[in-house]
Amino acid sequence: MNASVSRTLRNRVAKGLNTIIMAFLSLLLLSPMLWMISTSFKKPKDVFTYPIQWIPLNPVMTNHIKVWTTGDGFLMFYLNSLKISVTLMILAPLLAALAAYGFSKIEFRGRNQIFFLYLCLMMIPQQVLFVPKFIMFDWMHIYNTHWALILPGLFSVFGVFMIRQFFLTIPQEISEAAFIDGAGHILIFTRMFLPLSKPVLATFAIIDFTWNWNDYENALIFLIDKKLYTVPIGMQNFMLEAGVDYNLMMAAATAGVVPLLIVFFLGQKYIIQGFSSSAVKG
């Protein structure tokens, strides 16, 4: 009895220590973001005070108001980023799921070889494709439009791979039984596979939204008109205008992080389910 109580006590102490260590590491990793948020509510004279004022003694909203009202404002950049990111968050998982279904459940000659070549695209640096994309977009007359970011973003090699791994975990007997009942591939995909793959689709949608919201290089190269700028380019433009005003910079950065936090907290319950269900099949 004493041994059992001692073992239980040791387990509780170990769990408590693990909790304390993980909490400390989490705060350590979050400290830059906490400083960013804190600074966005400070006056210029309080930015570099030591010791650091994690909670401003005299918080002000002036910095956040200036972000949205000074110069071009962030509203236009926000609307452009939302237009691109939300569109791709909806369409990219659907197209990836269609391709994943074909690579996992439809038998055709050379399927595995084609999928291997498809995966090889993940090894090509995106910077190598900038010149071919520029030539192609100029020929298609979509250069300096949001289509230059939306069309390439519709196709994700990572999304196809991730969803395909999940589809491989679904027993083939389910599809065969549906075929016997007279269902076709479209019906099986829409009525069976899509409802079963909600966790992995939601996970990929969150990842895709994050990628596109933070996409800096493509927006920098393929967008010229300031009215088309997304949040990353708009933030750079704003920081150049603000100079060394760290308060405004941190307020702008805080505004840029808010949509990511909202999307993450709304879909966080799907992330672990999605990754665990799409784990590589041994």
pLDDT surpasses 70 at 211? yes
| Amino acid at the residue 58 | N
CA gap 149, 215 in Å, rounded: 9
Q: What pLDDT was estimated at residue 84?
A: 93
pLDDT surpasses 60 at 275? no
Q: What percent of the chain has pLDDT over 90?
A: 6
Cβ proximity of 153 and 207 under 8 Å? no
For 152-165, write each residue's pLDDT tens digit.
889 888 888 888 88
pLDDT surpasses 50 at 90? yes
pLDDT surpasses 50 at 124? yes
Q: What pLDDT was estimated at residue 280?
A: 45
Cβ proximity of 247 and 43 under 8 Å? yes
Question: For residue 162, which of 205, 195, 191, 127 has the smallest C-alpha distance?
Answer: 205
Q: What pLDDT was estimated at residue 242?
A: 58
Q: What pLDDT was estimated at residue 4?
A: 67
pLDDT range class, residue 33, cuts 50, 70, 90: confident
CA gap 57, 45 in Å, rounded: 12
Q: What pLDDT was estimated at residue 281?
A: 46
Tokens at 191, concatenated: 């009525």
CA gap 231, 76 in Å, rounded: 9
Question: For residue 43, which of 232, 198, 251, 242 has the smallest C-alpha distance?
Answer: 251
Tokens at 34, concatenated: 């906490």
Question: Within 10 A of 53 (CB to CB), how many other CB atoms are there?
Answer: 17
Mean pLDDT score of the chain, rounded to an integer?
A: 80
Give the phi and the psi of residue 47 in degrees, each rounded to 5: -65, -50
Give Cα separations from 43 to 66, 71, 244 (angstroms): 13, 20, 13
Q: Please state the rounded mean pLDDT for residues 176-194.
A: 79
Question: Within 10 A of 64 (CB to CB), how many other CB atoms are there?
Answer: 19
Give the phi and the psi of residue 4 in degrees, each rounded to 5: -65, -45
Q: Please state the rounded mean pLDDT for residues 33-47.
A: 77
Q: Please state the rounded mean pLDDT for residues 208-217.
A: 88
pTM, two decimal places: 0.80
Q: What percent of the chain has pLDDT over 70?
A: 89
